[in-house]
């Protein structure tokens, strides 16, 4: 898993990073909010670990800006804050979990593994769309009624994103920032072609086109 760690305490940052690397995660460490934003906007991460009280831009503001740009990468806050007001604010702007400092590194690993399962972060997972349909991210195939259909990596990632955000209207901009690299901008026609190909395999009932808004994946 590719993880960005925002922590301005150098010793604490090194401790966490070394532990996660030993768990075979790819970890990028940053020490202030501006640096974190630069990395997030120009590289893809599977998970963000954000301290709150860091220089330049605090962790809450970093997350608020990301969610404003419709970047939905999972976020765990690492913080000494534990007030109800903080928790309410953190979850209202889109955090997925938090750990109160000090914490045991094993607990961090447990929470990361839980988000991995619930958000289908690592591509090796099988994603069960329905009783009849499974998406195999490793082999880039959709299995429907025991029949196998090959898909491109981009089509697999699009279906994964829609399923992870099922029953929610997803517009083109949100799809682009969460599936494509940030310096790549596919055309609307390209995106429509990918969705059309997915629809041919799994059936048209799963996708609803919301005129002027985007698409909704129905489960």
How confident is the model over 127-158, as pLDDT tens digits? 999 999 999 999 999 999 999 999 999 999 99
> 77 near 90, Cβ under 8 Å?
yes
pLDDT at 107: 96
Residue 117: strand, helix, or coil: helix
Note whether 133 and 75 are same-domain residues.
no
Domain boundary pick from 118, 151, 178: 118
Q: How many structural domains does the chain have?
A: 2
pLDDT at 83: 83
Question: In this predicted model, which residue has the larger pLDDT, 78 or 120?
Answer: 78
What average pLDDT does this structure show over 74-98?
Answer: 91
Domain membership of residue 89 as a residue range: 2-118
What whole-number distance in Å separates Cα of residue 57 and Cα of residue 60?
8
- Looking up residue 38, the CATH number of its domain turns out to be 3.40.50.2300
Q: What token pair was written down for 41?
A: 């906007």
- Looking up residue 131, the CATH number of its domain turns out to be 1.10.10.10
DSSP bridge partners of 197: none
pLDDT at 52: 92
Give the burial string for 126-147 (b: 16+ CB within 10 Å, else e). Answer: ebebeeebebbbeebbbbbeee
What average pLDDT does this structure show over 54-82?
Answer: 93
User: Quick count: other Cβ atoms within 10 Å of Cβ 176?
Assistant: 17
Note whether 104 and 164 are same-domain residues.
no
Helix extents (H) in 120-187: 153-164, 172-179
Domain boundary pick from 95, 118, 141: 118
Query: C-alpha 11: how far from its chain's center?
Result: 27
Distances (CA, A) of 168 to 64, 174, 196: 20, 12, 19
Distances (CA, A) of 41 to 12, 37, 105: 25, 6, 27
What average pLDDT does this structure show over 191-219?
Answer: 94
What whole-number distance in Å separates Cα of residue 136 and Cα of residue 120?
11
Note whether 133 and 78 are same-domain residues.
no
Give every CB contact of residue 191 below 8 A, 6+ residues apart in sequence.
158, 172, 175, 176
Domain boundary pick from 74, 89, 118: 118
pTM of the model: 0.82
Note whether 131 and 62 are same-domain residues.
no
């Amino acid at each position: 898993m590719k993880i960005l760690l925002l922590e301005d305490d150098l010793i604490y940052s090194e401790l966490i990073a070394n532990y996660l690397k030993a768990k075979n995660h790819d970890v990028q460490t940053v020490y202030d909010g501006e640096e974190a934003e630069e990395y997030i906007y120009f590289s893809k991460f599977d998970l963000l670990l954000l301290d709150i009280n860091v220089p330049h831009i605090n962790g809450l503001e970093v997350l608020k800006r990301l969610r404003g740009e419709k970047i939905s990468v999972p976020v765990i806050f690492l913080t000494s804050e534990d007030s109800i007001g903080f928790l309410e604010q953190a979850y209202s702007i889109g955090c997925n979990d938090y750990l109160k400092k000090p914490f045991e590194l094993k607990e961090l690993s447990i929470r990361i593994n839980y988000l991995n399962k619930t958000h289908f972060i690592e591509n090796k997972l099988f994603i069960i769309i329905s009783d009849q349909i499974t998406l195999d991210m490793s082999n880039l195939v959709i299995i429907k009624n025991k029949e196998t259909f090959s898909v491109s990596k981009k089509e697999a990632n699009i279906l994964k994103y829609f399923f992870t955000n099922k029953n929610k209207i997803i517009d083109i901009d949100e799809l682009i920032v969460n599936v494509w690299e940030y310096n790549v901008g596919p055309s609307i026609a390209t995106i429509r072609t990918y969705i059309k190909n997915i629809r041919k395999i799994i059936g048209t009932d799963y996708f609803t086109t919301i005129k002027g808004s985007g698409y909704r994946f129905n489960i």
